[in-house]
Structure 1
Amino acid sequence: MTNVTRLPGTAEHHWTWQERAACRDLGTDRFFHPAGERGEDRAVRDEAAREVCALCPVQVECLRHALRVQEPYGVWGGLTEEERRALYARDAC
């Protein structure tokens, strides 16, 4: 679960970057895996999400947000949850 104490608050300027996100109208299926998804199916879905992120005008803001709040699920800013966890672990050392 997302640690909501790290969320930036309700001030609109903290969230306006989301209005410009390439994923805004695509739904969540491409970015969040269903329970139990593994192997090639997951790799294909993650790659489809990364392709959207690669062209996104707010990729940096999205990733910055995900890292700041330690978003536990999905592809954010082009990184999967496993890749973000690896960064947290590396930074903790």
Structure 2
Amino acid sequence: MQLEKYHEQETEMLTGEVIESQLEDIAIKKIAHAGSFYTARRVAHNLGKKMVRRKAAQLVPLLGAVVGGTTSTLFIYEVGIAAQRLLQERWFGRDIETEGKP
């Protein structure tokens, strides 16, 4: 009789330990899954940031070319107008800027 009670108690204890162990395993798996999801999100976020920075860095030379080309074009245009006026003044012998003004 005592042996049967001892055996029942031992079985209940082992069953409780097994259930507790299984619950711990489930909890650990849930935590690991949540952690891996968080890690994957963080890695994706960091990769996205790096890709945007690299693409933005690739635009810098293009923007420099546009600004440089625009500046050069405007400068050459103004030099051309100044040269044209100087030629007209020398050729026609009069000041173009003040012509027609009182």
TM-score normalized by the length of structure 2? 0.22
Hey, which of these two has a bigger chunk of helix by percent? 2
TM-score normalized by the length of structure 1? 0.24
| Larger RCO (CA within 8 A; separation ≥ 6) | 1
- Please identify the structure whose Cα radius of gyration is greater: 2
